[in-house]
Amino acid sequence: MDQDEALTTVDNIVTQFNTYEDFLDSQITTLDLYYLEDEGLARQLVELGYRGTGEVVKREDFEARKAAIEIARLAERTQKKVCEKNPVLLAL
């Protein structure tokens, strides 16, 4: 997997889940909870890549991409507002 594919995967994960814990919880099965009997331990195992049903994403990567996506969304919204208020820009 190259870097672009990895970023796309992380972006998909980030947009799908509100928090990193929600992402970790999505990787935990009922069987994991049955044997481990501890949700925190199950989350740690997923975070370390020992358990889970999908991609391993570090907390720092998740939070960085979440912040970058939010900044891009706010910038796009601000840009639209500036264009709507300026008749010269609208004419272009």
**Residues 17-63: tens digit of each pLDDT:** 999 999 999 999 999 999 999 999 999 999 998 877 677 888 998 99
pTM: 0.70
Residue 12 makes CB contacts below 8 A (sequence gap 6+) with none
For 20-33, the three-class secondary structure string (H helix, E strand, C coil) is HHHHHHHHCCHHHH
Task: Decide if pLDDT at 79 tops 80.
Answer: no
Stronger pLDDT, 2 or 54, i.e. the higher one: 54
Closest CA to 11 of 84, 66, 77, 71: 66
What is the pLDDT, as a whole number, of residue 41? 94
Stronger pLDDT, 6 or 30, i.e. the higher one: 30
Q: How far is the C-alpha of 43 from the C-alpha of 26, rounded, in Å?
A: 10
pLDDT range class, residue 84, cuts 50, 70, 90 = low
